[in-house]
Structure 1
């Protein structure tokens, strides 16, 4: 018997954000299917390939959870970690060719390594051309984060990120740590660019006291 379907966007506070509001949230450790890559997501074949392999694995896990454990859930939104040697390529220059990234889909805590291995084998058998070996499992423990909701095109994120990085975080007596994190609440294939909803998140920590 299948229980009530779980939806992390409703059960976790860290998946809630409002446009024009910066706030601090405590993000618990979460486990993800993850694929790493580099370059402009609009033109990089590796980026498209990452999504092609992530979703079949995620759905294989969902179906296994429902059939074997009686626990169903909504596939969480796509998420991405983004970084570069100079963070100005995100906030001002927007030089996408210099970006490194990790694309991720969260998996529920009740699914173990054996479920992921079985899903990997199932997808490889049905779609042998997919590079399932690129997908790894990562536990992300971000802790305290600053975040907000951006509504609009991805290319319009720069000023919001700049405000988050250079005003809000220092005003809280904090400094940035870890990687810039985005959570895509909209499907860009079905949503107009000016209506895209994206949570922009930045892990933060206490600033080191100045030496006397």
Structure 2
């Protein structure tokens, strides 16, 4: 059976349509950092996604090459994810978005395996994959919720999450290393916006009552 992170770890990838608090441990990712409007045709964000998939599919198909990864098992490519922030928040100006686009790696993938895949993908796919990095990140305590619909309507889901935090005695805890996080479970090219499913996750902490 091919291993599927979404099915094995539903608590991370299939939250309910209402807020929940969860602790997210450390995971390894393929990551590409950048800035700009994600909707810009052939812009830096679209190019970053090409790099992510080039590297992850190289790892996925590595068992058909001379390079053998220790502990390898076949896996479904995990969903695309993104960490997002703006220095001066203004969602109408998407060109000011900073982002880290990521795809989670299976646990058996090492930095050595990653480096091999970057070099091979650059040669085989004929695209520059040098911006890809082996990214280890622990989110810690978070609130998350499933959002269904257009990305432009996420504010409605975020408001529900914020109200939930107030009721439970928590607050958002954004900083340079704790960011707005989205996990994309739908193919936007094949589904209407009203059917898109996106996990929204925010870092949180307890409210200090002193």
TM-score by length of 2: 0.88
2:4 aligned to which of 4, 7, 18: 7
Indicate the residue corresponding to 1:168 in structure 2: 164
Residue of structure 2 equivalent to 1:145: 142
Residue 51 (str. 1) matches residue 49 (str. 2): yes
Closer, same or farther: CA 24–66 of 1 in aligned 2, 3 Å:
farther
What corresponds to 2:80 in structure 1?
78
- Structure 1 residue 66, shift from structure 2 partner: 7.3
Q: How many residues align?
A: 200
Task: Give me the CA root mean square deviation.
Answer: 1.7
Describe how 1:169-208 pairs up with structure 2 within 5 A.
Answer: 169-177=165-173, 178-208=178-208
Question: In structure 1, what is the equivalent of residue 26 of structure 2?
Answer: 29
Q: Secondary structure at 1:79's aligned position in 2?
A: strand
Q: Higher helix fraction: Structure 1 or Structure 2?
A: 1
Alignment CA distance shift 1:133-1:70 (3 Å): closer
Question: Structure 1, unaligned stretches of length 5 or more?
Answer: none
Q: How big is each residue's C-alpha offset from its partner over 1:89-132, in whole Å with a ceiling of 9 and x where there is no partner?
A: 3xxx443222111110000111111111111111111133x221
- Do the aligned residues in 2 keep the contact of 1:153 with 1:194 (CA within 8 Å)? yes
Moved over 6 A (4+): none
Q: Report the Cα offset of residue 86 of structure 1.
A: 4.0
- TM-score, reference length from structure 1: 0.87
**1:160-198 superposed Cα distances (whole Å, 9 cap, x missing partner):** 113323x12222222222100000000101111110000
Measure, in 1, the Cα distance between the counterparts of 2:143 and 2:110.
Answer: 30
Per-residue CA deviations over 1:26-75 (Å, capped at 9, x if unaligned) read 21211100011112111161001001111010001111257734501110
Runs (5+) with no aligned partner, structure 2 = none
